Amino acid sequence: MELLEFARGPALWFSLFVLVTGSAWRVIAIFRLGTKTDLSEPRSTRRFAAALRGIFARMIPRKEFRQGGKLGVFGGYFYHLGLAAIVFGYLPHILFIERLTGVAWPPLPEALVYLAVGPTFIGLLMVLLERLTDPVLRLLSGFDDYFSWFVVFLPLLTGMAALGSAYPQPTLSGAPLYPLPLAIHLLSVELLFLWLPFGKLAHAFLVFISRGVTGVALARKGAAL
Amino acid sequence: MSTTATTSNALEKRARAVLASAAAPDARMAVREFVDQVNRDAAFQLETCVRCGQCADACHFYLVTRDSRYTPVYKLRPMLRAYQRERAPFAAVKRRLGLAPPEVTAAELSEWSELLYDACNLCGRCTLACPMGIDIAGLVRRAREGMSAAGFAPADLYKVAERALDSGSPVGIGWPTLKRQIEEQEKETGLKVPVDVEGADYLVILSSIEIASFPETIGALARIFKQAKVSWTVPSAGFEATNIGVQIGSRDVAAALLSRVVEAAERLKVKYVISPECGHAYSALRWEGPNLLGRPYPFKVVQIMELLDQLVREGRLRTRGKDTRRFAFHDPCQLVRRGGITEAPRRVMGGVSERMVELPSPGEANFCCGGGGGVSAIRRAEKLRFAAFACKKQQVETAGAEALVTACANCRNVLEEAIDNYHMTLPVLGLTELLAQYLEPDPAPALR
């Protein structure tokens, strides 16, 4: 079996299986811990609105916390937005997702996606540099933090290496000219899928629940969100 | 023996057992308690941390010392490890593969006692700053359950808790002392303070600090309630509002102390219990109380600021004149950020202050006085507490405030001590007293 065939076939399906079942296991296991009903008289009973407020209020730091903050706050915006543009806006990625799910959407202009690579790359390097040098971040960091950074950075790096060779114009759906860089890129993405449910990258979905439950708990007291 | 008495005895017994743990600290017990504390919501929060470190920049203990260990989420490390090792998803698999984090040791817990108690006011500023929506202060409160149940809380707090269980007050104030203070205030104001009046609308409870250091609050309440025609009473038993249980982090101690207030309210059949000028007392009574006792109250809890604001807005309180000093309101964290009472004290203060100024980051994002969450009761933490006050000091200077007004007797006490320590000249006033000073004089004093 060719490497690309392996990456597009069994490796992909296995990594997706681990991604979905691992993520579901993690969320369900936490939900099963349960929680007692709060017997205090609530100030607000609008739980759904409170959860939404909790989710959206934390997307931008409050003005009181913007000064003197960590570089990672800005780096974080760069690479989260950049990754979103690259993953969901780049035509070959959309074609890949369409092949798997049948769902597609219009791509971003190619130039914009290429432009997004720079800030994403710099943003990711910035947060790593800060994690290695800032005393607070160094104290907090462990294997999960560095490995998670690595598995996010790797697909970006391998993707850049595969850029331009994978789907040469005008044969968008044709066979790639250089299968090895593409296979490596795919395998690096699959490594990300394999790790995501088990480490901090799971914040991709956990963050909404965490913000939501805190939003509900604080809003029932009328406390600051 | 009545059911209530039986319940109280059972609560008392459990609370005493917690205090006994101080004699023989037990790491395994702490771990069990840590793990039990992690329910669904706490687990989602613990699991979501991305170690971004933004909470450090929200914590006054970190800001003044730049000691990374004071990063709020770092304070949770033993509880997080216990959870990850024992209960988190994949914990069993990780243990089998040798990938689980190591067991939490007694030495670590002794070290973390300083981080979880001396260096945390449970003020919740970190919670507000966390981009992942983690209620870090709430988790520290949970972590303290493990620490206190297993003998790792500061010795000073165990002593205070013991005194509170023995005498009803964290500083040993009993009814004879309160009675004396009431009589003194009755002489001062010429007004009667109703004691143990069954069927009164409002039950007034007080913090020991008010009774011992600011007894004028009692006279102020008498004057305010007289003008507003409020039916109220003070209980001769169960009058202590503070609750060391929520500070040391023991639901058993907290429940035992709280049950005394609830029993007083039920005995006197009041409609409302007024939570006085005390931040954590409000948290204990208003939010934790029904959960600690496992039942809703048959009365409502109202914070004194909410009631004063309501009386002013209803026109039942009339003031005359305003203070012309540059007053700034110091926001008690548990009332404002954690309790949702931000505007009421400002409205009340605005009625009697001509030149109100706001400190930088007012209201929800305020800095704690440094003594909340039990820190003011820990002697070894005094130096750190004074250091943390530097954030507040800078804000006061920036705002050019000539006096601070607050709605928490503990904040007031802590602020006064810190102000002395920094050789500053800055009066700190209680808002209830300030309002009473500017009440319109009674038109018919002979009818008192």
Distance (Å, whole) CA B320 – CA B227: 13
Query: Which residue(s) pair with B232 in the sheet?
Result: B202
Q: Give the range among A70-84, A110-124, B365-379 with minimum mean pLDDT.
A: A70-84
The partner residue sitting opposite B89, judged by closest CB among A29, A134, A222, is: A29
Q: What is the phi-psi region of residue A34: left when phi exceeds 0, alpha when psi lies from -120 to 50, beta otherwise?
A: left
DSSP codes joined into one string, chain A: --HHHHHHTHHHHHHHHHHHHHHHHHHHHHHTT--PPP-SPPS---HHHHHHHHHHHTTS--GGGTTT--HHHHHHHHHHHHHHHHHHHSHHHHHHHHHHHS---PPPPHHHHHHHHHHHHHHHHHHHHHHHH-HHHHHH--HHHHHHHHHHHHHHHHHHHHTTTSS-TT-TTS--S-HHHHHHHHHHHHHHHHHTTTSGGGHHHHHHHHHHHHHHHHHHHT---
The partner residue sitting opposite A70, judged by closest CB among B53, B69, B338, is: B53
Contact between residue B329 and residue B435 where contact means Cβ atoms under 8 Å apart = no
B45 and A CB contact within 8 Å = yes
**pLDDT digits 0-9 by tens, A174-224:** 556 678 999 999 999 999 999 999 999 999 999 999 999 999 999 999 998
pLDDT (0 to 100) of residue B344: 97
B138 and A CB contact within 8 Å = yes
Distance (Å, whole) CA B73 – CA B56: 8
**pLDDT digits 0-9 by tens, A117-132:** 998 999 999 999 999 9
Give contacts of A137 with chain B, Cβ < 8 Å: 51-53
Contact B129 A65 (CB under 8 A): yes
Contact B89 A211 (CB under 8 A): no
Distance (Å, whole) CA B380 – CA A221: 33
| Residue-range domains of chain A with CATH | 3-29+67-221 (1.20.950.20)
Q: Is A69 exposed, middle or buried (0-12, 13-18, 19+ CB in 10 A)?
A: middle
Segment A36-57 mean pLDDT: 95
Give B 356-415 residues with CB within 8 A of chain A: 361, 363-365
User: What's chain B's average pLDDT?
Assistant: 95
Give contacts of B134 with chain A, Cβ < 8 Å: 210, 214
Sequence letter at residue B164: A
Distance (Å) from the C-alpha of residue A135 to the closest C-alpha of chain B? 6
Report which of B143, B151, B156, B159 is spatially closest to residue B26, judged by C-alpha positions: B151
* Residues 6 or more apart in contact with residue A28 via CB below 8 angstroms: none
- Quick one: closest CA in B to A62, which residue? B129
Give contacts of A126 with chain B, Cβ < 8 Å: none
Distance (Å) from the C-alpha of residue B183 to the closest C-alpha of chain A? 35
Position B22 pLDDT exceeds 60: yes
Position B448 pLDDT exceeds 50: no
DSSP codes joined into one string, B172-223: ---HHHHHHHHHHHHHHHS----BS-TT-SEEE-B-HHHHHH-THHHHHHHH
**pLDDT digits 0-9 by tens, B91-126:** 999 999 999 999 999 999 999 999 999 999 999 999
- Quick one: closest CA in A to B297, which residue? A40
Q: CA B209, B213, B215, B217 torsion: positive or negative?
A: negative
Distance of CA A207 to the CA centre of its chain: 11
Q: Does the bond joining A170 to the residue before it have cis omega, within 30 degrees of 0?
A: yes
pLDDT (0 to 100) of residue B57: 94
The partner residue sitting opposite B74, judged by closest CB among A26, A36, A140, is: A140
Provide the pairing of β-strand B323-330 with B272-275: unpaired
pLDDT (0 to 100) of residue A175: 57
Enter the ipTM.
0.92
B142 and A CB contact within 8 Å = no
Distance (Å) from the C-alpha of residue A140 to the closest C-alpha of chain B? 6
Distance of CA A159 to the CA centre of its chain: 16
| Residue-range domains of chain B with CATH | 25-150 (1.10.1060), 157-312 (no CATH), 318-437 (3.40.50)
Distance (Å, whole) CA B134 – CA B140: 11
Give contacts of A135 with chain B, Cβ < 8 Å: 66, 68
Contact between residue B124 and residue B333 where contact means Cβ atoms under 8 Å apart = yes
- Structure-derived torsion over alpha carbons of residues B81, B83, B84, B87, reported in degrees to the nearest 10: 160
B91 and A CB contact within 8 Å = no
Q: How many residues does chain A have?
A: 225
**pLDDT digits 0-9 by tens, B219-233:** 999 999 999 999 999
The partner residue sitting opposite A134, judged by closest CB among B53, B128, B286, is: B53
Report which of B26, B230, B235, B33 is spatially closest to residue B144, judged by C-alpha positions: B33
Token pair belonging to B418: 């810190």
Distance (Å, whole) CA B251 – CA B289: 10
CA distances from A178 to A87, A90, A162, A164, B193 (A): 21, 19, 8, 10, 90
pLDDT (0 to 100) of residue A72: 66
| Residue pairs between chains A and B whose CB atoms are closer than 8 Å | 171
Distance (Å, whole) CA B126 – CA B379: 24
Contact between residue A217 and residue B40 where contact means Cβ atoms under 8 Å apart = no
- Quick one: closest CA in A to B75, which residue? A140
pLDDT (0 to 100) of residue A170: 45
pLDDT (0 to 100) of residue B63: 96
Residues of chain A by 3-state class (helix, strand, coil), percent to 5: 70, 0, 30
Return the DSSP state at B240: B
Q: Give the range among A65-79, A114-128, B165-179, B384-398 with minimum mean pLDDT.
A: A65-79
pLDDT (0 to 100) of residue B291: 97
Distance (Å, whole) CA B270 – CA B180: 24
Give contacts of A29 with chain B, Cβ < 8 Å: 88-90
CA atoms within a 13 Å half-sphere pointing along the CA-CB vector of A210: 26
